[in-house]
């Protein structure tokens, strides 16, 4: 890696030269195109150092060439800041460079948007997990690490406060990730740079002391090296021996941990012995133990039991001459490669041998165990192209308003979050702000979301929450609350819920007459109004349903419940209400849905991600939790947009594919047609989400089809 003292201005020519050494010409061309786009986008922008901004993406890509990363990663590295900082959009990148590169750029941008705020140790661990969970492609992390390395190398031009903040973040977040992924060289450089900017004074003193010590001990070191070489030779073991110096921050760590002064840290020097195979590792170990006595308790066999990041070696410390402890690491060449470049060693060494060399097999196995990923294909190349990091598949990491990170099970909702913060917050929550947007309590949380719970003093748990909370804590607390409700408390809660529902329909509770109540009591064979209210409070009836039924008993023709004919859809939580599928998002069975009560229209069913409903989220009282249920065979309309290459007969091909999926076309409209592409809108009929998926798959297999979107709104 380049000298970190002087950030040199790299040129695109250097990058292309480095990439040309291992990329195919066609792939190199794409990297050059990515460069053109990045160069134009960043034109005129300067870095803090005064250099043109483009120097940064070039440097990041150049770091990646040291690992021989593929052309997609290099292109993405060149483009990594365009979406955030220039007019280039991710759609532009998608159109020009395709899905993989745009996914990589999007992945890096997403990580950039996360802000790490607190200085607590436990928080750092969660933040690292969140980063890894969000970057679903190993290459995203490698780009991000290279980005950080270049920023650290050029940190000099920042103010000292910013230097300290970035250095601290690097040490807390990126250094451990680099270590975990086995990227040893990068890890050391980042670690040293972090140390240097966080503790400039200590760094200066220590490096001076180290330089002096190096001079003093040079003679001893070369004596020891010769002795080691001769001993191995006399045992007929061919080996490469290299002197090895500990890096500054690890010496500093040792001084801190063991409260030593610099002069007391003796094992500054170590040696690395590289031999041809595993048996020779143990032979070399035995041979060296005959030269100097091993220090008891210092021997570690990382060959038999590799470190979790895949590292393998034998470690031993010997009593050297003049009382100097001598640290020895013994490993094979393959182990050495992994020790230096870790997860990146696959790319680095893939061209050097047959496709499934020993290194690759090991990298492969290691990644599998590390990433808990089961590859279906035995092909290592394909494996790595498709590798997705899912280090923490069962968890989702979100921020509290104060920047604390919470880990919740996948599938958790805002209600789970509220109960996780505090039982009282759970009991009084009414809505949530997710990334500053008002959202329903049942919204699923995603990695990196910033979640703020909105509470109201008089609010109490809604029995319907039990339908979707996933954490044991939330479930237990809600159940407990409902169980402890006495009959009259349940009645009070039920009445409040009913009044809310009535007001949402613009009816004042006292406008509901005794006749209406009596009709309802008779219809449902209940004993009293209080019984119905208590049942609402206990979650046995839904407030909106009771409100609607009451209104329908008024005999008023204009009553909303009667205004619409019923559909044949069955939706849990909607009994007795007129149901309409919202024309904006056209939900189909299988879509996550939410009900919105609208005066005069009954219950409108939207998909949970419908943009329309997002706008009316400010009024959470009008929402009802609903779910698909007992579906009869029925067809639903769905709108899809197809972007296809203009070729003769393409429309017919698409229509055939739709028919083959056993779906009918309701309407077709050519939305846009310019030179090469046509945008065609179809309305088709499907049974449910699964049926739609089959249809979409059929369409995707048509070579002319470039993009496919389900239209919602
Ligand atoms: Mn950057």
Write the pLDDT tens digit of every residue in 171-225: 888 887 887 777 888 999 999 999 999 999 999 988 888 888 777 777 888 888 9
What is the pLDDT at residue 618?
A: 57
Q: What is the DSSP string of 215-247?
A: HHHHHHHHHHHHHHHHHHHHTT---EEEEEE--
625 close to 464: Cβ distance less than 8 angstroms: yes
Structure tokens at 194: 């972090």
Instruction: Of 580, 135, 67, 201, give the one whose Cα is nearest residue 387.
Output: 135
Q: Is the pTM of this model over 0.75?
A: no
Between the CA of 308 and the centroid of ligand 1 the distance, in Å, is 29
pLDDT average, residue stretch 672-693: 84
What is the pLDDT at residue 386?
A: 35
134 in a domain, yes or no?
Answer: yes
Between the CA of 350 and the centroid of ligand 1 the distance, in Å, is 27
pLDDT average, residue stretch 387-410: 70
What is the pLDDT at residue 6?
A: 42
Between the CA of 124 and the centroid of ligand 1 the distance, in Å, is 21
Give the CATH number of the domain where residue 248 resides: 3.30.460.10
Answer yes or no: do 248 and 117 share one domain.
no
Instruction: Of 521, 542, 537, give the one whose Cα is nearest residue 487.
Output: 537
pLDDT average, residue stretch 591-619: 72
Q: End of a domain among 154, 180, 201?
A: 201
Between the CA of 645 and the centroid of ligand 1 the distance, in Å, is 35
What is the pLDDT at residue 378?
A: 33
What is the pLDDT at residue 29?
A: 94
Give the CATH number of the domain where residue 693 resides: 3.30.70.260
**HSE, side-chain direction, 13 A CA sphere, residue 397:** 22
Most confident of 417-431, 545-559, 630-644: 417-431
Answer yes or no: do 54 and 135 share one domain.
yes
How many of the other CB atoms lie within 10 Å of CB of 512?
Answer: 19
Answer yes or no: do 173 and 229 share one domain.
no
Answer yes or no: do 583 and 706 share one domain.
no
102 in a domain, yes or no?
Answer: yes
Q: End of a domain among 628, 658, 680?
A: 628
pLDDT average, residue stretch 254-263: 79
What is the pLDDT at residue 30?
A: 93
Answer yes or no: do 618 and 648 share one domain.
no
Between the CA of 349 and the centroid of ligand 1 the distance, in Å, is 27
Between the CA of 40 and the centroid of ligand 1 the distance, in Å, is 16
Give the span between the Cα atoms of 177 and 141, in whole angstroms.
9
Between the CA of 127 and the centroid of ligand 1 the distance, in Å, is 19
Give the span between the Cα atoms of 13 and 18, in whole angstroms.
9
Element holding 602 (H helix, E strand):
strand 602-607
Answer yes or no: do 196 and 258 share one domain.
no
How far from each other are the two terminal CA atoms of the chain, in whole angstroms? 51
Give the whole-number percent of the chain exceeding pLDDT 90: 22
User: What range does the domain containing 94 cover?
Assistant: 12-201
Q: End of a domain among 612, 628, 644?
A: 628
Instruction: Of 623, 674, 632, 679, give the one whose Cα is nearest residue 651.
Output: 679
How many of the other CB atoms lie within 10 Å of CB of 292?
Answer: 21
Answer yes or no: do 36 and 150 share one domain.
yes
391: left (phi over 0), alpha (psi -120 to 50) or beta: alpha
Tens of pLDDT, residue by residue over 514-571, are 888 888 888 888 888 888 888 887 767 777 778 878 887 765 444 333 333 334 456 6
Give the span between the Cα atoms of 412 and 410, in whole angstroms.
6
Structure tokens at 283: 């032979």
626 close to 605: Cβ distance less than 8 angstroms: yes
Between the CA of 140 and the centroid of ligand 1 the distance, in Å, is 12
Answer with the residue of higher pLDDT: 306 or 461.
Answer: 461
Tens of pLDDT, residue by residue over 448-505, are 888 999 888 878 888 778 778 888 889 888 888 887 777 777 788 788 888 877 887 7
Instruction: Of 146, 139, 170, 185, give the one whose Cα is nearest residue 342.
Output: 185
Instruction: Please count the structural domains in the chain.
Output: 4
Does the pLDDT at position 676 exceed 60? yes
646 in a domain, yes or no?
Answer: yes
575 in a domain, yes or no?
Answer: yes
Does the pLDDT at position 230 exceed 90? yes
Write down the mean pLDDT value for the chain. Answer: 79
CA 444 to chain centre: 15
Answer yes or no: do 237 and 178 share one domain.
no
User: What's the angle, vertex CA 500, arms to CA 498 and CA 502, rounded to 5?
Assistant: 70
677 in a domain, yes or no?
Answer: yes
User: Which of the residues are catalytic?
Assistant: 84-85
Give the CATH number of the domain where residue 38 resides: 1.10.3210.10
Answer yes or no: do 498 and 548 share one domain.
yes
Does the pLDDT at position 414 exceed 90? yes
Does the pLDDT at position 136 exceed 80? no
Give the span between the Cα atoms of 269 and 249, in whole angstroms.
15
How many of the other CB atoms lie within 10 Å of CB of 144?
Answer: 21
Answer yes or no: do 664 and 615 share one domain.
no
563 close to 600: Cβ distance less than 8 angstroms: yes
Between the CA of 351 and the centroid of ligand 1 the distance, in Å, is 29
What is the pLDDT at residue 69?
A: 85
104 close to 139: Cβ distance less than 8 angstroms: yes
Q: Which of 229-238, 267-276, 350-359 has the lowest mean pLDDT?
A: 350-359
pLDDT average, residue stretch 161-169: 89
What is the pLDDT at residue 53?
A: 93
**HSE, side-chain direction, 13 A CA sphere, residue 216:** 10
Q: Please, which pLDDT band fits residue 354 given cuts at 50, 70 and 90?
A: very low
383 in a domain, yes or no?
Answer: no
148 in a domain, yes or no?
Answer: yes
Give the span between the Cα atoms of 478 and 462, in whole angstroms.
8
Answer yes or no: do 494 and 621 share one domain.
yes
What is the pLDDT at residue 436?
A: 83
Answer yes or no: do 548 and 612 share one domain.
yes
Tens of pLDDT, residue by residue over 73-106, are 999 999 999 988 888 888 899 999 998 899 889 8
Give the span between the Cα atoms of 183 and 95, in whole angstroms.
33
72 in a domain, yes or no?
Answer: yes
């Amino acid at each position: 890696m380049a000298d970190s003292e002087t950030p040199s201005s790299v040129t695109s020519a250097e990058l292309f030269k480095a990439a040309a050494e291992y990329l195919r010409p066609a792939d190199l061309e794409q990297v050059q195109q990515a460069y053109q786009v990045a160069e134009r986008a960043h034109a005129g922008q300067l870095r803090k150092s005064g250099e043109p901004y483009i120097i940064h993406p070039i440097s990041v890509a150049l770091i990646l060439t040291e690992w021989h990363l593929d052309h997609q990663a290099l292109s993405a590295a060149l483009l990594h800041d365009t979406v955030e900082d220039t007019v280039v959009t991710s759609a532009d990148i998608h159109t020009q460079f395709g899905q993989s590169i745009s996914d990589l750029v999007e992945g890096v941008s997403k990580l950039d948007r996360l802000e790490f705020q607190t200085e607590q140790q436990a928080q750092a661990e969660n933040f690292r997990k969140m980063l890894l969970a969000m970057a679903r492609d190993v290459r995203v992390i490698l780009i991000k690490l290279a980005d950080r390395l270049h920023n650290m190398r050029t940190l000099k031009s920042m103010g000292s406060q910013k230097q300290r903040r970035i250095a601290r973040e690097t040490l807390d977040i990126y250094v451990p990730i680099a270590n975990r992924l086995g990227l040893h060289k990068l890890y050391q450089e980042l670690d040293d740079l972090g140390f240097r900017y966080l503790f400039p004074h200590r760094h200066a003193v220590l490096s001076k002391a180290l330089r002096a010590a190096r001079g003093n001990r040079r003679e001893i070191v070369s004596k020891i090296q010769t002795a080691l070489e001769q001993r191995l030779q006399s045992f007929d073991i061919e080996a490469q021996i290299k002197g090895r110096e500990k890096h500054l921050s690890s010496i500093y760590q040792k001084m801190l941990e063991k409260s030593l002064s610099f002069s007391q840290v003796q094992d500054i020097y170590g040696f690395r012995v590289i031999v041809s195979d595993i048996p020779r590792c143990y032979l070399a170990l035995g041979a060296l133990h005959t030269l100097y006595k091993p220090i008891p308790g210092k021997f570690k066999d990382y060959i038999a039991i590799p470190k979790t990041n895949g590292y393998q070696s034998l470690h031993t410390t010997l009593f050297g001459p003049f009382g100097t402890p001598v640290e020895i690491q013994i490993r094979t060449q393959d182990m050495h490669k992994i020790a230096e470049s870790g997860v990146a060693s696959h790319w680095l060494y893939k061209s050097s041998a047959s496709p499934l060399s020993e290194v690759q097999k090991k990298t492969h196995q290691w990644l599998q165990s590390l990433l808990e990923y089961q590859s279906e294909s035995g092909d290592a190349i394909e494996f790595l192209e498709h590798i997705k990091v899912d280090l923490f598949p069962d968890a989702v990491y979100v921020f509290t308003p104060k920047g604390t990170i919470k880990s919740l099970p996948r599938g958790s909702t805002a209600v789970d979050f509220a109960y996780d913060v505090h039982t009282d917050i759970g009991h009084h929550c009414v809505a949530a702000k997710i990334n500053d947007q008002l959202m329903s309590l049942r919204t699923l949380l995603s990695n990196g979301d910033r979640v703020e719970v909105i509470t109201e003093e008089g609010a109490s748990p809604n029995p319907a929450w039990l339908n979707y909370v996933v954490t044991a804590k939330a479930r237990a607390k809600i159940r407990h609350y409902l169980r402890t409700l006495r009959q009259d408390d349940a009645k009070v809660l039920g009445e409040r819920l009913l009044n809310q529902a009535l007001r949402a329909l613009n009816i004042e509770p006292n406008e509901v007459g005794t006749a209406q109540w009596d009709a309802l009591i008779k219809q449902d064979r209940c004993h009293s109004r209080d019984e119905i209210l208590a049942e609402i409070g206990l979650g046995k009836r839904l407030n909106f349903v009771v409100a609607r039924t009451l209104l329908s008993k008024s005999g008023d023709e204009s009553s909303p419940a009667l205004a619409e004919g019923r559909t044949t859809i069955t939706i849990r939580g909607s009994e007795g209400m007129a149901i309409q599928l919202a024309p904006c998002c056209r939900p189909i069975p299988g879509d996550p849905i939410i009900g919105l009560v609208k005066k005069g229209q009954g219950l409108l069913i939207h998909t949970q991600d419908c943009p329309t409903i997002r706008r009316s989220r400010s009024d959470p009282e009008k929402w009802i939790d609903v779910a698909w249920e007992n579906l009869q065979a029925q067809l639903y309309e769905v709108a899809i947009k197809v972007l296809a290459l203009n070729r003769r007969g393409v429309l017919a091909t698409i229509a055939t594919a739709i028919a083959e999926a056993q779906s009918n076309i309701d309407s077709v409209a050519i939305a846009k047609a310019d030179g090469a592409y046509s945008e065609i809108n179809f309305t088709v009929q499907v049974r449910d989400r699964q049926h739609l998926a089959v249809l979409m798959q059929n369409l995707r297999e048509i070579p002319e089809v470039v993009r496919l979107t389900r239209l919602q709104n």
